[in-house]
Structure 1
Amino acid sequence: MEKTSATQGFVPIKEIRDGVIVLKDNSLRAILMVSSLNFSLKSSDEQIAIIYQFQNFLNSLDFSTQIYIQSRKLDIRPYISVMEEKYKAQTNDLMKIQTREYIEFIKKFTESVNIMTKNFFIIVPYTPSFLGNSSKGPLGLGGGKKNTQILENDSFEESRSQLEQRANVIEQGLSRSGLRVARLGTEESVELLYKIFNPGESEKPIQLN
């Protein structure tokens, strides 16, 4: 009987060090979270300026990147929990009735309409020249060959420096287009990756007191 492979064997991540994702082939990834803007509400001149700046940004890149869009049903339960606490703390009878009606309205509305939330990320890759081509897949995490060589501190710092330079280029370019960019740290990266590899976990009920 064949031995069942451990789940970890299918996850191409070796470790996350100082906010940098180290893959099993020793290539690196950084994740940038990017804001959105309502392009249709901009004036014609503003739209032209945004397009021009974004075009310049794309032309300035001399390395590949990946855009990842996370679309999920909005979890309204934490907000309902907060409103329930406000309902319990309310001393005015009229306000208490209105709060209860508001809670019921929000519950029924979100049950009948799928309200989606979107998060936008840019994956910044860096692969040391001796490793060859970078891997592909969701978040650029798949397809790379496993490398058993240990990434020494000096090599890691040198590679991270190159990765940081690329991340800065992207951050500056998108900022000129009116977008806000935030670099994910270790905890945020772990949370995002956990949701990617365990999509059902985000749908589990939140325990309310």
Structure 2
Amino acid sequence: LKETEDEKQYLEQITDYTQFIRQLVSGNKILSRKFYIVLPYKPETKGNTFELAQAQLNLTQDMVIKALEKLGMKAKKLDSLEVLHLFYSFYNKGQIKTQELTSTTMKAILQHNYV
């Protein structure tokens, strides 16, 4: 019963958000725009394992993606390189156009534990 109520609440929020975005895009004549949704996770107990947390987040992710697709929006999960590129472009706006982040760079960053 609680899951059904949560689903209804999520769908309501997504519907409201979609209407807001459509008004924003049509009012400002934006041709295309990317929006990002961050899914939070709060473990119910302190003993939850990483695998359980990942499974719960994947389930939530699938629900959100399907709900957005039902509303006619495209949605996808960002991979590690895309997330890194997003943060890099956010914090280094002046350099992003001249310094592309490649998979080789990503491997070097991960190999040296910079992330």
TM-score bucket (shorter structure): 0.5 to 0.7
Q: Which has the higher helix share?
A: 2
* Aligned counterpart for 1:125 among listed residues 26, 40, 49: 40
Identity of aligned residues (%): 25
The answer for the alignment partner of 1:57 in structure 2 is 11
Aligned residues: 76
Relative contact order, higher structure (CA 8 A, sep 6+): 1
Amino acid at match of 2:34: N
Q: How does 1:25-44 map to 2 (within 5 A)?
A: none
Q: Which amino acid aligns with 1:175?
A: E
Cα distance in 2 for residues equivalent to 1:200 and 1:130: 43
Q: 1:117 to 1:195 in 2, by over 3 A?
A: farther
Match for 2:77 among 175, 183, 186? 183
Per the normalisation by structure 2, the TM-score is: 0.52
Residues 1:196 and 1:129: Cα distance change in structure 2 (over 3 Å): farther
2 CA distance for matches of 1:182 and 1:205?
A: 25
Q: Structure 2 residue aligned with 1:174, among 41, 64, 68?
A: 68
Shift of 1:122: 1.1
CA distance in structure 2 between the partners assigned to 1:129 and 1:198 by the alignment: 36
Q: Aligned pair in 2 of structure 1 residues 201, 130: CA closer, same or farther (>3 Å)?
A: farther
TM-score by length of 1: 0.31
Distance (whole Å) between structure 2 residues aligned to residue 164 and residue 185 of structure 1? 13
